[in-house]
Structure 1
Amino acid sequence: LVAFGQKFNAPVIGIFPLSPTIWGSYLSGNPMPFSYVPSYKTPFTDHMNLNERIQNTLIQLYEFIGTKYYYLPKQEEVVRNKMKFKGSENLPPLQSMLKNVSLHLIDYHFSSGYNRPFENNILQVGGLNLARAKIEPLDKELSDLMDKSKGVIYFSMGSHVKTSELGEDAVREIVKAFAQLSDYQVFMKWDGDFQPLGLPPNVKISKWFPQPSVLGHPKTKVMIGHGGLHGIMECIHHGVPFLGIPQFSDQESNTRFVVSSGFGLRVGKDELTSEKLLGAVRALLTKPEYKENAVKRSKIALDRVMAPLDLAVYGVEYVLRHQGAPHLRPAVLDLPWYQYILVDVISIIIIVPLVILFIVLKLSSWCRPFPPDPVLKK
Structure 2
Amino acid sequence: MEVAGVVASIISAFGSGRALFQRMAGKKRTGRGREATLSEEEAWLRESLHKRPLEIERSYQQHVQRHGYRYEIGDSIAHSSLATTLLTLNSGLIKVINRFLAKEPMADDESRRTLLSLSEVAAADTLNALSQLSLRLNSQSVPATLKSLPPPKEMAGEEEGEQLRLKTGSSDKPPIPKPGEGEPIVFFDVTLGGEPLGRIKLHLFANTVPKTAENFRQFCTGESKGTNGLPQGYKGSKFHRVIKGFMIQGGDFLNSDGTGSTSIYHGAAFADESFQHKHTSAGLLSMANSGPNSNGCQFFITCAPTPFLDGKHVVFGQVAEGMDVVTKIENVRTGGPGGRGPGERPVQDVRIAMCGEM
Q: Do the two structures share a fold, i.e. TM-score over 0.5? A: no
Q: Which has the larger radius of gyration?
A: 1
Q: TM-score, normalising length from structure 2? A: 0.29
Q: TM-score, normalising length from structure 1? A: 0.28
